[in-house]
Chains A and B, each alone.
Chain A
């Protein structure tokens, strides 16, 4: 059995990281039309050239990828197929009357009150707009008459985009190597790496296996606060997710005693000044925070040019 590499005494739990991004998604003609009409309580479906009738509307038949269709208006009633409960959410497969497909939606009833084959009807949510959730869900409707699929007539223009947000949360493990490195940064304000498998220069960030030789790396080593710019560019653009206002210099720096690059930033006086002074080969020094160190690269506020 393989086990984890030798663990140092560290008390860093996990490293929290969040990826949180806005999107503008295009639903396409069929779903876009459905989403444009749904707030008016009209369910847009479509009849494909192959005869299949589906709702909610979709651009391609799941039967044979047929893409020729006309829009139809589907009824608000149908039949429940399979269903389940996940947490508090009861979800079932709904087949609207006159349609050939089943689609998943919320069921507004207790799980125990449902049975496959029962009649159901849409329940509407006035607070929603341009979403499948304009239908809050489906509720049992034993006496609901069987609805029919009808020609739609004029449809609204399809929605071109919907706003969407995806947020992903992580708790990354430090592992013994990153753990020791960030612990040293926090406790002692120094950057430590491990020697390569065959040399004296340190790998940053440290790791158990040397990328080049795939052999075990060597012993720990403290790198200097000074180093040399390997590559640099002058950032003069804004973008969503940026952590500091431009202009500033992006720099990949090899610290003295290390062999691999550390990515950080250099404050600049002006773009013109930076073009002249911030360049590969220039010597730099880490400026550590004067506040409380947290055990991350942020404990170095920036790098600044030094003369040698």
Chain B
């Protein structure tokens, strides 16, 4: 039984800011839901279902989707909350359309980490008997991961700083990210110690923002888009919760997710022109690039700086990490690069890899392949 193809029809994103002090969650959400239909000829009436990603812990309310349904455009529709990065919500939406049950789905992800203590979001994910009491959390895990990586490979802290500076510069150009001043490598090196050996600017910066992505079945996509971007492969996988038990030096679950996605896309290797990759730190971005097969172990830096695949033209997650929305923003961004390459000054790329991550030190990973 043949299952249908699913396309990214359109997307909308707020600016990503350290703090949207003059807007509530519902303001950011309704802004992207209202905008996503522009130019598609579709409206909310055409949407069969809404799947959203957000975090009760970040939002400060239980079952927070329940209070945001109106803003989400979900009233009297089929709605689901995936409490993981929005790329997993998109995965759910694609399955729903592929099953034939629906033809147009709206995927929304958002967060306002500025309203809470982000470290509590991470530490509350840690098992409460052994990990949480000793202060283990996202920063500690990223620090240890970085220490191992730098010790094993010929990558220096200065190299990381230069990568970070490049990412911020790209974000200022293409990422709809609020940036006062783009830091150079010296500024990155001079930022305060965060999780040694990592400096503050080497960690992904939490920002507020929202993103909406409109998914549609092939027949609708062909009628409503000049250049629909098809999702040809998807995969996801989760690693062990015990950080010490994960394979040192690589993101095994990211490799597994990529293998799934590439197999479904019929790719024998990561044959993409562009990639949008999530990261919790500069080191984990390199590890993700390697796990996605775009570089050999320890060689992520060369690929990151301009190998065969153009990686993170948007700036990626380091300058702007709207937790829960970061991966879905990668999807939106990669789809835009494929459908409107002129905005990014690229030749006509035809294939993209999209990566999202969740959990402490990227315990869970999700990978999409896109083609036009």
Whether B120 contacts A86 by the Cβ 8 Å rule is: no
Verify if A17 is at the interface (C-beta below 8 Å from B): yes
Interface-forming stretch among B242-250, B304-312, B347-355?
Answer: B242-250
A85 to B146, CA, bound (A): 12
Scan residues 225-255 of chain B and give those whose CB is less than 8 A from a CB of chain A. Answer: 240-245, 248
Whether B134 contacts A132 by the Cβ 8 Å rule is: yes
A172 nearest CB neighbor, chain B only: B115
Contacts of A31 in B (CB 8 A): 129-130
A116 to B24, CA, bound (A): 46
CB distance from B250 to the nearest CB of A (A): 14
CB distance from A28 to the nearest CB of B (A): 9
Which of B133, B197, B198 has the most CB atoms of chain A within a 10 A radius of its CB?
B133
Verify if B176 is at the interface (C-beta below 8 Å from A): yes
Whether A27 contacts B129 by the Cβ 8 Å rule is: yes
Knowing A162-B129, A209-B30, A212-B75 are in contact, say whether A62-B240 is a contact too (CB < 8 A): yes
Verify if A222 is at the interface (C-beta below 8 Å from B): no
A35 to B12, CA, bound (A): 50
Whether B195 contacts A4 by the Cβ 8 Å rule is: no
Contacts of B129 in A (CB 8 A): 25, 27, 31, 35, 132, 162
Interface-forming stretch among A102-110, A232-240, A279-287?
Answer: A102-110
CB distance from A209 to the nearest CB of B (A): 4
Whether A102 contacts B143 by the Cβ 8 Å rule is: no
Verify if A174 is at the interface (C-beta below 8 Å from B): yes
Whether A209 contacts B34 by the Cβ 8 Å rule is: yes
Verify if A113 is at the interface (C-beta below 8 Å from B): no
Whether B139 contacts A102 by the Cβ 8 Å rule is: no
Partner of B22, one of A56, A104, A111, A176: A176
Whether B70 contacts A91 by the Cβ 8 Å rule is: no
The contact size tier of chain A is 35 or more
The contact size tier of chain B is 35 or more
CB distance from B58 to the nearest CB of A (A): 9
Verify if A276 is at the interface (C-beta below 8 Å from B): no
A137 nearest CB neighbor, chain B only: B134
A-B pairs with CB below 8 Å: how many? 176
Verify if B155 is at the interface (C-beta below 8 Å from A): no
Whether A173 contacts B128 by the Cβ 8 Å rule is: no
Verify if A207 is at the interface (C-beta below 8 Å from B): yes
A1 to B60, CA, bound (A): 27
Interface-forming stretch among A76-84, A247-255, A262-270, A289-297?
Answer: A76-84
Contacts of A19 in B (CB 8 A): 60
CB distance from B52 to the nearest CB of A (A): 15
Whether A84 contacts B128 by the Cβ 8 Å rule is: no
A243 to B355, CA, bound (A): 45
Contacts of A93 in B (CB 8 A): 144, 243-244
Whether B195 contacts A104 by the Cβ 8 Å rule is: no
Which of B112, B116, B120, B131 has the most CB atoms of chain A within a 10 A radius of its CB?
B116
CB distance from A132 to the nearest CB of B (A): 5
Contacts of A137 in B (CB 8 A): 134
Verify if A244 is at the interface (C-beta below 8 Å from B): no
Scan residues 22-47 of chain B and give those whose CB is less than 8 A from a CB of chain A. Answer: 22-24, 26-27, 30-35, 44
Partner of B196, one of A85, A133, A210: A85
Verify if B194 is at the interface (C-beta below 8 Å from A): yes
A7 nearest CB neighbor, chain B only: B22
A102 to B140, CA, bound (A): 14
Whether B44 contacts A207 by the Cβ 8 Å rule is: no
16 A-B pairs whose Cβ atoms sit less than 8 Å apart in the complex: A3-B15, A4-B22, A35-B129, A84-B196, A85-B143, A91-B134, A93-B144, A93-B244, A101-B242, A102-B244, A104-B243, A168-B116, A170-B60, A173-B22, A208-B30, A212-B70
Interface residues of A (CB under 8 A from B): 1-5, 7, 14, 17, 19, 25, 27, 31, 35, 56, 62-63, 81-86, 89, 91-93, 95, 101-106, 111, 116, 131-133, 137, 162, 164, 166, 168-178, 207-212, 214
New A-B pairs, 4, CB < 8 Å, besides A83-B147, A106-B134, A173-B22: A31-B130, A104-B134, A106-B135, A116-B151
